[in-house]
Amino acid sequence: MATIDIKDKTFETLIPEEEIMRRVKTVADRISNDLKGKKPLLLGVLNGSFIFAADLMRMLTIESEISFVKMTSYQGTESTGKVKKLVGLNEDIEGRTVVIVEDIVDSGLTMEKMIEYLKEFKPAEIHICTLLLKPDNLKRNLDIEYIAMEIPNDFIVGYGLDYDGLGRNLRDIYVVKE
C-alpha cells in the first residue's frame, strides 16, 4: 500500500482513484435523473470541493451551471466564539434548483450554516451533494441526498482535501496513519 508524507504526518491509500470515479459517476447519474429539466446550479464550496465539482459536473448528462462560494471562519467575540460566514455568492439563486457540492461533511456545522444563509435568497430547492461523509461524527440533522462515499472518523487528504493546505493534488484519497 502506497504511503506518503505530508509535513509531520504519514498517510496511506484509503480510496483509489478508480473507485472515487465510480462513486462520483453513481452520484452524477442520480442527480441527472432526479433533476432533469431543472437546470440545477451547482454551488461548489471552496476550497476542498473544486476537483469533485469539476468531475461531477462533467459526468452530469443534463444541463447545469456552476458557481463557487466559500465559508470563511473568523474569530467572533468571546461569547460567540468561531463564526462562519458565506462569501462569494454572485449568482441570483431565487427560484433556482441549487445543489451544494461539498468535499466532506464531518460534524455538519458548516453545511447547516450554509443552508441557513442560502435560504435567505429564496431558492426553489436546495439539495446537498457531498463526496464524503463521516457518519459517526455527524452532529446535525441534515437531509443529505447525495453522498458519494462514507468513511470512518479519521483524517484524510487528497482529491481536493488538504492537510494544512497540502495534498489537494493527490489523485487517490489517503488516510492518516496512526
Query: Residues interacting with ligand IMP, by CB under 6 A?
Result: 48, 103-111, 155-156, 161
Residue 35 Cβ, how far from ligand IMP at the closest point, in Å? 23
Instruction: State the DSSP H helix or E strand holding residue 42, giving kind and residue range, or none if neither.
Output: strand 41-46
What are the grid coordinates assigned to 38, written together? 431543472
Q: Is 160 in the site for Mg ion (CB under 5 A)?
A: no
Identify which of residues 17 and 162 has a Cβ nearer to ligand IMP in the complex.
162
Active centre residues (catalytic): 106
Identify which of residues 53 and 156 has a Cβ nearer to ligand IMP in the complex.
156
Q: Is 48 in the site for Mg ion (CB under 5 A)?
A: yes
Q: Please, which residues have CB within 8 angstroms of residue 49's CB and are 6 or more apart in sequence?
A: 101, 102, 103, 131, 160
Q: Provide DSSP, 152-174.
A: -SS-EEBTTB-BTTB-TT-SSEE
109 binds, options ligand IMP, Mg ion, none, Cβ within 5 to 8 A by partner type: ligand IMP
Tally the residues of the chain.
178
